[in-house]
Amino acid sequence: MKICIVGAGYVGLTSASVLADLGHTVCCVDTNKEKIKSLNLGEVPIYEPGIKELISKNKDNLTFSSNVVNTISKYPVILIAVGTPSLPDGKTDLTYIHSVVDLIAETLTSYKTIITKSTVPPGTNEEIHNRLIQKGIAPELFSVVSNPEFLREGSAIFDMMNADKIVVGMKKNDKKSLPIMKSIYQGLEAPYIMTSLSGAEMIKYTSNAFLATKISFINEIARICDKYEVNIEDVVRGISTDPRISPHFLQSGLGYGGSCFPKDVRSLEHSALEKNITPLILQAIQATNHTQVDFYIDKLSSAFDNLPGKTISVLGIAFKPNTDDTRCSRAVQLIDKLSQLGCKVNTYDPKATLPFIGKANIIQYTTLEQSVTDTDCIIIATEWDEFRQLDWKKIKELMKGNVVLDARNCIDPSSIYELGLDYIGVARS
Ligand code: UDX
């Protein structure tokens, strides 16, 4: 099939490389000329394991173009993977989606399947359908399909190749789209979940909100366990043998970040409020998440007579391991707050770069050794594998102080205690 993917972000590029690998002729378009230029030179603008290799492997049937209108007009299948950021009130900004739909309307002369991969609030795909009708496009000339993604950054290629489901939302009378969707994903062994356009949108939001709920829930339980000197890992082990609970997404720490969970939970809250529903659980998830950084800073404050003025090494900048993405990173928020408190912050990350520059008391180092040298304290803010296996004996010699705050509960406290360092985690009695 000939598929045009609009948007060369991590969802667009992952979809483009996997669909090309499945044998389709794919053109990925983006208005950002620089990005397209570098993709055509074989440079991939995001760090995502395996993506560079997959793009290069499929270069015969995967092209990149900044001529968006021309490509959209020529391809029968358009997969929309543009950004859907938050507006200040939490509502989803659909500007990019609308401009793609308008371009499709301007150039549409023969039948097209329009697939929305971007995360959009309930009702958006119905609106897309109505927008095309209002622009005078005959309904038999197009189908709108809602086909959300469930890709984790850092394992996006694996997640798409090994999808646990393919969600397809369609209009009731749509007879054409299912066979087209099945041809697009031919080669992937995943069950199809068929639903309405808004049903697919709600599946995506419910999935992300549920996972965010698990994280905030376990973080709240960890705070309680901390006070009662109970080990949170014992509790998680104890509950997760029950298949109704499962062991996943129960890792306590600084909280959730990234480009999806914070934005999507807020957007779902907004969709509920628009219909006069007060989503108490969604609001509680966010409230807990927002206070995680302060909770850890309070813990740190109690380890020092006077925290301001101390030199702190924060290991990890990315919102999670195996990505260079710092959007809504809890580590970045922690670095920012520590600097505002008057600490000198040294930081290091294997892939990510601080999203702000020019703050005199924050320095990003290119090596871990430089970052920990002469510091009063080390904080593990992102659980990169590299940080799980540190040579603490060597690090102790480089440090000035002796405090280690494990804000992801990811290192073995006994290896720290043995060296005479102070370990602070949460509920790790
Ligand atoms: C998420 C969803 O997993 C994916 O299905 C969706 O399509 C996009 O959003 P992603 O944002 O890449 O993917 O990250 P994910 O691995 O889900 O982690 C999100 C955040 O939760 C990270 O900040 C991570 O550190 C945090 N997290 C995750 C925890 O704090 N504890 C956990 O147990 C799991």
Instruction: Look up residue 176 and give its two tokens.
Output: 């054409």
Nearest CA to ligand 1 atom 3: 152
**Residue 285: predicted pLDDT:** 98
Structure tokens at 381: 């803010």
* pLDDT value for 16: 98
Q: Is 253 in the pocket of ligand 1 (CB under 6 A)?
A: yes
Q: How far apart are the first and last CA of the chain?
A: 57
Instruction: Give me ligand 1 centre to Cα 253, in Å.
Output: 12
The pLDDT score that the predictor gives to residue 24 is: 98
Residue 39, sorted as left (phi over 0), alpha (psi -120 to 50) or beta, turns out to be: alpha
Q: Is the separation of the CB atoms in 19 and 2 below 8 Å?
A: no
Q: Are 344 and 280 in contact (CB under 8 A)?
A: no
Between CA 124 and CA 197 the distance in angstroms is 8
Token digits of residue 153 = 């950054």
Q: What is the pLDDT of residue 392?
A: 96
Q: Which atom of ligand 1 is nearest to the CA of 260?
A: 9
CA distance linking residue 411 with residue 212, whole number of Å: 23
pLDDT tens per residue, the chain (429 residues)?
999 999 999 999 999 999 999 999 999 999 999 999 999 999 999 888 899 999 999 999 999 999 999 999 999 999 999 999 999 999 999 999 999 999 999 999 999 999 999 999 999 999 999 999 999 999 999 999 999 999 999 899 999 999 999 999 999 999 999 999 999 999 999 999 999 999 999 999 999 999 999 999 999 999 999 999 999 999 999 999 999 999 999 999 999 999 999 999 999 999 999 999 999 999 999 999 999 999 999 999 999 989 999 999 999 999 999 889 999 999 999 999 999 999 999 999 999 999 987 788 999 999 999 999 999 999 999 999 999 999 999 999 999 999 999 999 999 999 899 999 999 999 998
pLDDT value for 360: 84
What separation in Å is there between the alpha carbon of 288 and the centre of ligand 1? 16
Which atom of ligand 1 is closest in space to residue 253's alpha carbon?
A: 30
Residue (of 156, 150, 147) closest to 46 by Cα position:
156
Evaluate: CB of 149 within 6 angstroms of ligand 1. Answer: yes
208 lines ligand 1 (CB under 6 A): yes
CB 156 less than 6 A from any atom of ligand 1: no
Ligand 1 atom 19 nearest Cα:
256
The answer to whether the CB of 258 is under 6 A from ligand 1 is yes
10 lines ligand 1 (CB under 6 A): no
- What is the model's pLDDT at position 286? 98
- Residue 429: predicted pLDDT: 80
What pLDDT is stored for residue 358 in this prediction? 74
DSSP 8-state symbol, 10: H
Q: How far apart are CA 205 and CA 267, in angstroms?
A: 9
State the Cα–Cα distance between residues 242 and 13, nearest whole angstrom. Answer: 37
From the CA of 298, how far away is ligand 1's center (Å)?
Answer: 25
Confidence at residue 356, expressed as pLDDT on a 0 to 100 scale: 81
Does the CA dihedral 91-80-114-65 come out positive or negative?
positive
Which residues have CB under 8 Å from 406's CB, separation 6+? Answer: 380, 413, 423, 424, 425, 428
3-state helix, strand, coil in the chain (%, to 5): 45, 15, 40
Nearest-atom index, ligand 1, CA of 155: 12
pLDDT value of residue 259: 93
Which residues are catalytic, by number? Answer: 260
Instruction: Pick from 207, 236, 256 the residue to mutate for probing ligand 1's pocket: most ligand atoms within 8 Å of its CB.
Output: 256
Quote the tokens at residue 288: 């807990």
CA distance 393 to 416: 9
Atom of ligand 1 lying closest to residue 204 CA: 7
ipTM summary value: 0.97
Ligand 1 center to 256 CA (angstroms):
7
Handedness of CA 131, 137, 140, 145 (dihedral sign): negative
Among candidate residues 303, 298, 259, the one with its CA nearest the CA of residue 403: 303
Residue nearest to atom 32 of ligand 1 (CA): 249
